[in-house]
Amino acid sequence: MTYDKRHGGAWDRGGADSYCRRPYSPHKYVAGTLTSDKVVSLSAIDLAAYDAGYEANEALGYHKDWD
């Protein structure tokens, strides 16, 4: 499946949450991250995109070094 990977989209936010080791918390932004409204009630497609973004980053093992 092809996901919308725009900045602020569900796939992007899933990957970012994984990268920053934030808890699993499906969401997206209407436009850019933190510059538009946050959406937490996701459609099934957006939920799948968030999950895919989160899992893609987990599989790569890329995580922010907070030290």
Domain positions in the chain: 10-60
3-state secondary structure of 57: helix
Asked if 23 and 63 touch (Cβ cutoff 8 Å), the reply is no
Q: What is the DSSP letter of 49?
A: H
pLDDT tens track for 5-64: 999 999 999 999 999 999 999 999 999 999 999 999 999 999 999 999 999 999 999 999
Q: What is the pTM of this model?
A: 0.92
d(CA 42, CA 28): 8
